[in-house]
Amino acid sequence: MSEKNVVAENMVVSMAYKLTVDGKVLDEAGDKDAIEFLTGHQNIIPGLESQLTGLKAGESKSVSVDPEDGYGPVDQNAIEEVSFEDFAKEVTPEVGLELQMKDSQGHDSYAKIISMGEDSAKLDFNHPLAGKELNFDVKIVSLREPPQKSWPTAMFTAPAIIIKTISFSKRRCNCSAFFVQLIV
């Protein structure tokens, strides 16, 4: 069988999947809304991509990804204290509030308020799935060669509903943040 008929580097993969974490389904895409990505270019988490190699179109597989090969372990250095004065006046910080931000270079960042003091909130900047084992049920819907070497890449994206903007400047980033209802 030629390599273009199996998942290999530099192949466009159309993949249906269901992601389960801690027994809860967090995301899924069926055959009709399958994601497409170019393999070998860090477009999906490495622990998932490495376990897809060799699969043919139509094949399914259950894949478990350890935190180190997914979104990494929880980094205690990514937890910071932020003064309430650094939040916009119209935002009332509360435990569990999830924030999506852009830093001064335009990169997306995520934080969640994990505790509050008298005049500050503790923000966890770890990815929401850091430290978690990821369980995927995947199906390779189709495979094809990319039309050109500069084929655009696609990544898993999480839905976010923007409610209000807050601003603060912190060692980690100088950013505007969005108060969101849903991150994962």
Q: What is the domain-level CATH number for residue 20?
A: 3.10.50.40
pLDDT, residue 92, reads 81
The yes-or-no verdict on residue 177 having pLDDT over 70 is no
For residue 40, the tally of other CB atoms under 10 A from its CB is 12
What region, left, alpha or beta, does residue 23 occupy, with left being phi > 0 and alpha being psi -120 to 50 degrees?
A: left
pLDDT, residue 168, reads 41
Q: Which residue has the higher pLDDT, 155 or 124?
A: 124
For 32-47, the pLDDT digits (tens) are 999 999 999 889 999 9
Task: Please tell me the distance from the alpha carbon of residue 173 to that of residue 181, in angstroms, as a whole number.
Answer: 22
pLDDT, residue 100, reads 75
Task: Report the percentage of the chain scoring pLDDT > 90.
Answer: 58
pLDDT, residue 180, reads 33
Structural domains of the chain, count? 1
Run of H or E including 47 = helix 46-49
Structural domain boundaries enclosing 69:
3-180
